[in-house]
Amino acid sequence: MKNGKLLSGDEAIALAAWDAGVALGAGYPGTPSTEILESFSELGGHAQWSPNEKVALEVTIGAAFAGARALATMKHVGLNVASDPLFTSAYTGVDAALVVVSADDPGMASSQNEQDNRRYAVAAGVPMLEPSDSQEAYDFTLAAIEISERWKIPVLLRVTTRVCHSYTVVHPGGSKGAPKAASFARDIKGRVMIPAYARLAHRKLRQKLAEMQEWNESCQLNRVVPGSEKLGIITSGISFMHVREAVPEASVLKLGFTHPLPMKQIIQFAKSVKRCLVIEEGDPYLVEAIRAQGVWVEGKPDMYRFGELDVPRVRRILDNDVSPEPTKPAGKPPQLCDACQYRIVFESLRKRDCIVAGDIGCYTLGVLQPFEAIDSCVCMGASIGVGLGMRHVLPSDQARRVVSVIGDSTFVHSGISGLVEMVYNPPPNGHVLIILDNATTAMTGHQEHPGTGRSLNHEPTNKLVLEDLVRAVGVKRVHVVEPRMGSEEFDRVLTECLNSDELAVIIARRPCILIVKQLKQYEQRGQNCECDPKGANVEQGN
Ligand SMILES: Cc1ncc(C[n+]2csc(CCOP(=O)(O)OP(=O)(O)O)c2C)c(N)n1
């Protein structure tokens, strides 16, 4: 353990970014990625939460265009939001390193789906690295910086929950050269993606990928663990750890640089063993790519596509065991805190038998007993569009019961354009939107967002005042209400809005009970703390 540090994968990525002189880290919170930027900030790095992942990636693309090393972090579904700039930044390339961390959540410990973002590397045409533990999270972040600067291209660092949150020893060191000073160099054809320039850029991208593939054939990011000639396993990421424990005698080709794949090395390995199996979590990404080369390798039965792998599951795959798996004991279901103000909102919605288009955050727990007061939840921001769609087509007696419910961080993330839609295409009976403003991003561990008026490290910054924004968009009926036990006010306002046939926004404002103490500390530190639930002390952003 000499000189070693016990770090989570997220902390190791942050440390590598710090050691490599990354000038800017931007992201949007999301399990299991959140701690990367928080750790980077604690180390002294310039880290900031953006309103959403698309903006975070764009900000880091700008930094990398300007010659500074940059890091964008997000959970897997965040990359859906950021995919538009991702695809075209593969064409534009970058001047200094840009590392894009996609933290995937196989098994959905805390997500709405278990998409496998290795597919994004192929679709966007960006190189991808997949670490298996914290040491590799550190080393591969440095390698991603090196690759990014060598080929002038954003690199996807794809991690999963177990890598992000497990603690293993890291020996830091080996930084890939000092960063150069940021400086703008004009490159109009390379950066301005009008079709004439983009056509050239696409060809250049394919050329870079071909070169990287060749380099990958002999690079140190992939390695063979010698073993039995009877059984060979091709694997990557956390699955490598499970494989080593489940079958220590097998030969293993451990892939670290997983797009573009080192196909010659893979084929050579597959041919060197009697039985060759691919063990991978999630989609059959590796197995399909290898079989497309005309090489037969065994994959896993489809039942193991769902959820995380572990050592017993790897053993079952090896035995081709498709019998039902033992069921895990059910955990205690989550619930809203006893004193959570959302309880008042959901009781009121339930009482009125509202049809609730919901969203993602702590408040999604309103779907469970005793409320069962959420009727849909698709992705961040969808509550508004989905609610409007229902209002447009339902008969008016039902349409009038439709309410959209969204949290404050989620509203800023992707609800604002839904609000514009609400004003631009109002349904015949209007619509009611409730913004649950608890002054934080509670779900992911109480991160700041533009509506709190505090930056990532809780320092005061300009504040987005939600009611001003809603009015500016054109909503006339705007209520700011403090939901409190024993008070009828929220209930009364909701009834009024539902009966009005107008477009209405109710901002239910009361700080999350779990951060009341911190908010007081920020206030005492003379920071811009907006705790007044009625909005009486609302400070205009400047
Ligand atoms: C695209 C995307 N990014 C991030 C997340 C992770 N996430 C889910 S809800 C949420 C925000 C919750 O904050 P807020 O809307 O304020 O509700 P609260 O939890 O405070 O009630 C985040 C960051 C996600 N599910 N999808």
Residues 6 or more apart in contact with residue 187 via CB below 8 angstroms: none
Which domains does the chain possess? 5-179+188-216 (3.40.50.970), 223-318 (3.40.50.920), 342-524 (3.40.50.970)
Alpha carbons 425 and 388: distance in angstroms, whole number: 9
> Which residue CA neighbors atom 9 of ligand 1 most closely?
361
Alpha carbons 452 and 432: distance in angstroms, whole number: 23
Work out the pLDDT band at 449, boundaries 50, 70, 90. very high
How close is the Cα of 441 to the center of ligand 1, in Å? 7
Q: Is 451 in the pocket of ligand 1 (CB under 6 A)?
A: no
> Which residue CA neighbors atom 6 of ligand 1 most closely?
30
Mean pLDDT of 274-278: 98
Q: Which of 282, 290, 283 is nearest to 253 (CA)?
A: 290
Per-residue pLDDT tens over the stretch 168-222: 999 998 666 778 899 999 999 999 999 999 999 999 999 999 999 999 999 999 9
Alpha carbons 503 and 429: distance in angstroms, whole number: 8
Mean pLDDT of 283-311: 97
| Radius of gyration from C-alpha coordinates of the chain | 25
Q: Is 450 in the pocket of ligand 1 (CB under 6 A)?
A: no
Judge whether 97 and 144 are in contact, CB under 8 Å.
Answer: yes
Burial class of residue 540 in the structure, from the number of CB atoms within 10 Å of its CB (0-12 exposed, 13-18 middle, 19+ buried): exposed
pLDDT number for residue 524: 81
How close is the Cα of 418 to the center of ligand 1, in Å? 16
Q: How far is CA 121 from CA 36, 83, 89, 138, 184, in A?
A: 21, 11, 12, 20, 28
Q: DSSP assignment of 60-92, as one string?
A: HHHHHHTT--EEEEEEHHHHHHTHHHHHHHHHH
How close is the Cα of 409 to the center of ligand 1, in Å? 7
Q: Are strands 128-129 and 24-27 parallel, antiparallel or unpaired?
A: unpaired
Residue to substitute in 37, 101, 380, 454 for testing ligand 1 pocket (most ligand atoms within 8 angstroms of CB)? 380
Per-residue pLDDT tens over the stretch 351-373: 999 999 999 999 999 999 999 99
Q: Is 365 in the pocket of ligand 1 (CB under 6 A)?
A: no
What are the two backbone dihedrals, phi and then psi, of residue 462, each rounded to the nearest 5 degrees?
Answer: -60, 145
Is the predicted pLDDT of residue 527 greater than 80, yes or no?
A: no
Q: Which atom of ligand 1 lies nearest, measured to the CA of 112? A: 25
Q: Is 356 in the pocket of ligand 1 (CB under 6 A)?
A: no
Q: Is 363 in the pocket of ligand 1 (CB under 6 A)?
A: yes
Q: Which of 251, 258, 291 is nearest to 275 (CA)?
A: 251
